Amino acid sequence: MRFHSLPESKRYPDTEDEWAIVLDRYNTVLDELFAGLDVYLATSNWSGTPVPPERPHEQTRWHPGAHHWTSIRTDPDPDDPIYTHVYVSLIPWERGRIDALLRAVADDATAGVLIIDASLQRIYHPYDGGADVILATDAERDQLRSRHADWLSAHPSGL
């Protein structure tokens, strides 16, 4: 399911009050999914080489302790290949701990972030404008959806 970060599906915050709403919505759902648990935090960056850049990637400031996990060729163009480099860390979930990263996501300064419980049953994918949530059961999804019905899109597709 998809939750929007701001009322009326506004995509980007303009004021500190709106930033507070964005971070509260992200953290509220993250708390409901992961309170008291360890989570995998995955971020990514891109380059034209199969090996990640030697200098720390830009997301290091938002994802301290990240370790390179894998690199995947995501554009097969032989003249201009693109590789996605994925970085992962295992952290105890704590409200506010990744606010700098969430703020960068909401500001479209980075993308490709996933927060996943250690048992791989719940996935949270924030993006600029909201977050997608994947849960193991329909019942869990329906309960979360009903708790935050006013954060859902009014569009018939739910997007």
Average pLDDT, the chain: 91
| Identity at 72, one-letter amino acid code | I
Of 110, 151, 119, which Cα lies nearest the Cα of 27?
151
Phi, psi of 46 (to 5 degrees): -130, 150
In the predicted structure, residue 59 carries a pLDDT above the cut 70: no
Q: What is the pLDDT of residue 95?
A: 97
- Dihedral angle sign, alpha carbons of residues 133, 148, 159, 136: positive
Q: What is the pLDDT of residue 63?
A: 81
CA 153 – CA 2 distance, rounded (Å): 7
Place of tokens 């909201």: 130
Question: Would you place residue 23 in the very low, low, confident or very high pLDDT band (cuts 50, 70, 90)?
Answer: very high
In the predicted structure, residue 157 carries a pLDDT above the cut 80: no
> What's the token pair of residue 30?
């993250």
Question: Would you place residue 155 in the very low, low, confident or very high pLDDT band (cuts 50, 70, 90)?
Answer: confident
Mean pLDDT of 133-151: 96
Q: What is the pLDDT of residue 97?
A: 94
In the chain, where the domains are located: 2-149
Question: Would you place residue 154 in the very low, low, confident or very high pLDDT band (cuts 50, 70, 90)?
Answer: confident
> What's the token pair of residue 10?
């506004």
pLDDT tens for each residue of 67-116: 889 999 998 888 999 999 999 999 999 999 999 999 999 999 989 999 99
In the predicted structure, residue 60 carries a pLDDT above the cut 90: no
Q: What is the pLDDT of residue 57?
A: 58
Q: What is the pLDDT of residue 46?
A: 87
pLDDT tens for each residue of 30-45: 999 999 999 999 998 8
DSSP 56: P
